[in-house]
């Protein structure tokens, strides 16, 4: 079973106690709700809770933000071992704003799916005319009406860095590779703006000084990476700078508002 594997983690953030539960996860990050599947054993639940807790702590540290960023101000729900999809280790449900991990979730899926949740949450914060089921990345590509704000400007800079080349006039190499992969597969998936941005975010997280392969994996040596479906080289560095500037400003704003 996947959860019996040992996952690599290098982080300055260590738990005050050895074991944590999903109740601890909900209490710390203020998830809207947490639901555990009926077929999850106590041992599996305990192991998964610890891995998930550590991954979220590391994500929060990388993003330089408070706990409320992780749960998107308490609007995000979490499910483990329930309502899964065959062959999919993790997914984000738009309608219920729920992040879900399969019972034996594969490593590295959390960063990708969490960014989908953030991308969805930000659509209504960054644009004034988006439908409920649209991601901010898609809204930007479709030239929806932006809400003027310095933080939104930084977000748009991230999308620009991911989807366009350095001139800002042409599609990026990552977009071209994604479009070629979709053409070969006969579907639109890799070139979808939400998927491109989630993969770029994975790369940003994996390049951080903190390492946690339950949080993120596969952006450098996987077959997808070799096919150009993740950013690399100067493009990757440009995206990482844009994300760093965005989350630094966002984290500062959220941290200031969280103070009593």
Q: What is the DSSP letter of 92?
A: E
Number of helical (H) and strand (E) elements in the chain, helices listed first:
10, 6
Integer CA distances (angstroms), 42 to 21, 37, 39, 51, 70, in order: 10, 11, 10, 14, 25
Q: How many CA atoms lie within 13 A of 252 on its CB side?
A: 7
Give the confidence band of 102 by pLDDT, cuts at 50, 70, 90: confident
Give the confidence band of 260 by pLDDT, cuts at 50, 70, 90: very low
Q: What is the pLDDT of residues 149-193, one digit of tens each?
A: 999 999 999 999 999 999 999 999 999 999 999 999 999 999 999
pTM greater than 0.95 (yes/no): no
Domain ranges of the chain: 12-107, 116-258
Q: What is the pLDDT of residues 67-86, one digit of tens each?
A: 999 999 999 999 988 755 55
């Amino acid at each position: 079973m996947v959860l019996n594997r040992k996952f690599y983690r290098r982080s300055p953030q260590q738990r005050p106690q050895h074991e944590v539960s999903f109740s601890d996860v909900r209490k710390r990050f203020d998830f809207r709700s947490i639901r555990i599947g009926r077929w999850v054993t106590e041992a599996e639940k305990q192991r998964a809770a610890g891995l998930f807790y550590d991954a979220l702590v590391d994500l929060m540290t990388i993003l330089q933000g408070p706990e409320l960023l992780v749960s998107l101000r308490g609007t995000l729900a979490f499910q483990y071992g329930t309502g899964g999809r065959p062959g999919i280790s993790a997914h984000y449900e738009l309608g219920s704003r729920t992040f879900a991990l399969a019972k034996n979730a594969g490593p590295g899926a959390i960063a990708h799916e969490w960014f989908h949740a953030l991308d969805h949450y930000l659509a209504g914060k960054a644009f004034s005319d988006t439908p409920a089921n649209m991601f901010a990345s898609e809204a930007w590509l479709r030239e929806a009406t932006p809400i003027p704000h310095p933080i939104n400007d930084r977000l748009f800079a991230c999308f620009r860095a991911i989807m366009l080349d350095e001139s800002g006039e042409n599609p990026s190499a990552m977009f071209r590779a994604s479009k070629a992969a979709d053409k070969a597969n006969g579907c639109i998936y890799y070139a979808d703006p939400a998927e491109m941005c989630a993969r770029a975010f994975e790369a940003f997280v994996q390049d951080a000084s903190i390492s946690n392969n339950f949080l993120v994996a596969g952006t450098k040596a996987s077959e997808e990476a070799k096919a150009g479906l993740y950013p690399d080289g100067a493009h990757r560095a440009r995206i990482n700078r844009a994300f760093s500037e965005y989350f630094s400003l966002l984290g500062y704003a959220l941290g200031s508002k969280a103070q009593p």
